[in-house]
Amino acid sequence: MFLLGDEELCVDEIAEKMKVRVSNVSQHLSVMGERGVVETRRTGITATSLLENIFV
């Protein structure tokens, strides 16, 4: 989540910076999106995420 505090990132960028699998990041972002913690924007085939609730 700290990565999303400063900028909007795609799943691949987050996974690369955290050195984890894209599928893991995607699943976690999905759960956080359902709970209103992150917002995901889709542009074509690319989805980017940003922190929605800065108080988390």
Residue type, 17: K
Any idea which residue has 């690369």 for tokens?
16
The string of pLDDT tens digits covering residues 36-45 is 888 888 888 7
* Measured distance CA(46)–CA(55) in Å, rounded: 27
CATH of region 2-51: 1.10.10.10
The string of pLDDT tens digits covering residues 3-54 is 666 678 888 888 998 899 999 988 988 898 888 888 888 888 777 777 676 5
**What pLDDT score does 6 carry?**
67
Could you tell me which residue, 2 or 20, shows the higher pLDDT? Answer: 20
Answer yes or no: are the C-beta atoms of 11 and 45 closer than 8 Å: no
**What pLDDT score does 20 carry?**
93
Answer yes or no: are the C-beta atoms of 15 and 27 closer than 8 Å: no
pTM: 0.73
Residue type, 39: E
Contacts of 10 (CB under 8 A, 6+ apart): 46, 47, 48, 49
